[in-house]
Amino acid sequence: MGHPNVDEVVPSFESHPSKYRHWKLAFDGDIARLSMDVQEEAGLREGYTLKLNSYDLGVDIELADAVQRIRFEHPEVRAVVITSLKDRIFCAGANIFMLGSSSHPFKVNFCKYTNETRLGLEDASAHSGLKFLAALNGTASGGGYELALACDEILLIDDGNSAVSLPEVPLLGVLPGTGGLTRVVDKRKVRRDLADFFSTVAEGIKGKRALDWRLVDAVVPRSKFEAVVAERARALAAKSDRPKDEKGITLTPLEPEVTDGGIGYRYVTVKLNPTLRVADLTVRGPEEAPPVDGKGLKALGADAWAIRAFRELDDAILRLRINHLEVGTLVFHTEGDKAKVLAWDAFIAQHAPSHWLVREVLGLQRRVLKRIDVTSKTLFAFIEPSSCFAGVLAELALACDRTYMKDDPEAPSFIELGPLSHGQLPMANGLSRLETRMLAEPGRVKEILSREGPFDPESALAAGLVTFTPDDLDWDDEIRVALEERASYSPDALTGMENNLRFAGPETMETKIFGRLSAWQNWIFQRPNAVGEKGALSLYGQAGVRPSFDVRRT
């Protein structure tokens, strides 16, 4: 499949501390220190300089890797200090010249990945007992302040100069695209009028006013800054329930085989169909039964099916998002023994409350499924006789926009829910995928979950678990028509439609962030006021040149 801009293809979404160019990761007992030190000439592509700890996707890939490794490889860590190694600057946010020179799809996908990384910090705090302290040793602007907002506490150095700011509106004609405005008012509960002023003053807010407005949790003189950071990190660590004397597992490289026709992993295969703009993703179930306890899972390490398969699926989704923009539809298939998938589900459900590593596996599965939920591509699932859409893999079918289940009495197909479908894998709206599906009949959720055994096509259709059940004679024609029809529609209209339909039910901070990213930021990034010849983002940094705005409100 072609690429609008070959320079924007990302060769890998994996990293390792030995390969970090922009972060330093250090450990001191139960405290980890993650220090930002962005190398100016080490951007993901040529054409911009990463000055003042500004970042691009490569910087964020390293950050996501570091957080993931702390979760799996360092269970002894209970608090993480995120700070900067540059004097008087924490982070200037996303690199403006990178944004200005990027294609529209890359900008939006970059913002989405960045926000998923921020949400990963909040997920670790809520579910893994891993607490984060933003130690702002200098000014934090734009995405730099948004990174701080994702932490549990924010300390700002009080040196008369350092400030926090969200300057996108006055400087660039866009808005904080990774949840900044939402976190300010929803998470930190900054008053709306104060947030309005804060978001329109490019130089930001510093000192006592930043504290009074709830933009930070403390302002600390330079002479006491490191001591207070250490004190607050210890206090956060004391709140954690992560084990003190456990050793982690090593997250080994995935090493996929990437060809023009697709991507091959151990448990996941991606096959590209350029004609229909389709990618077929096949997830294979486990070959082995689960271990008996958490100790057994540690012995399996990163090769355990529940870990490796979902790391591979995550990597595949990211590659399809950014490197294969012309792919419009993802079709999920599964293969294997559904009994073994359900056995793994039962193992995770039993041991996640008591064993740190099993809890992290559950968290990995939760986050990967959420990444699929917010991917701006049509999602279909095809359930066939060889499928194992059971347990956690049934969640893939429930995540899809449509599910087709083959009805052939000579070769039956099945879908079966498991113990993790009872709410352990929530969507961004806080509900399970089954609860979201059954908003009109919430009482049926318990009824469906109480059923023992698999659903065949007739019972699955009656229960609302699948969309259509074509018989053997109609199967090929129905799925062909569905895929051809999807390929004929406007991709923009489909993205808007799908994002409106996927998150029925209650609104949360997370649904607000992604809804606004997919709609408002997506739209604003295409408007001439931002990216036209005289747009603010296009002209940023050109001395003596001011943007010219179309002043009509639309």
Domains delineated in the chain: 14-238 (3.90.226.10), 257-497 (3.90.226.10)
φ and ψ at residue 175, rounded to 5 degrees:
-145, 165
The residue whose two tokens read 């990213």 is 517
Query: Is there a contact between 144 and 92 (Cβ–Cβ < 8 Å)?
Result: yes
Nearby residues of 212 by Cβ (< 8 Å), 6 or more positions away: none
Q: What's the whole-model pTM score?
A: 0.96
Q: What is the mean pLDDT of residues 79-93?
A: 97
Q: Minimal CA–CA distance to 245: which of 127, 131, 78, 125?
A: 78
Task: Work out the average pLDDT over 323-333.
Answer: 97
Which amino acid, one-letter code, is at 337?
A: D
| 184-238 pLDDT, tens digit each | 999 999 999 999 999 999 999 999 999 999 999 999 999 999 999 999 999 999 9
Taking a C-beta distance cutoff of 8 angstroms, is the pair 408, 361 a contact?
no
Q: How confident is the model at residue 516 (pLDDT cuts 50, 70, 90)?
A: confident
The strand order across the sheet containing 257-259 reads 257-259, 262-264, 268-273, 278-284, 329-335, 378-383, 402-405
Lookup: tokens for 245: 């004397």
492 versus 230: the higher-pLDDT residue is 230
Query: Length of the chain in residues, anyone?
Result: 554
Whether pLDDT at 239 is above 80: yes
Q: How far apart are CA 402 and CA 419, in angstroms?
A: 23
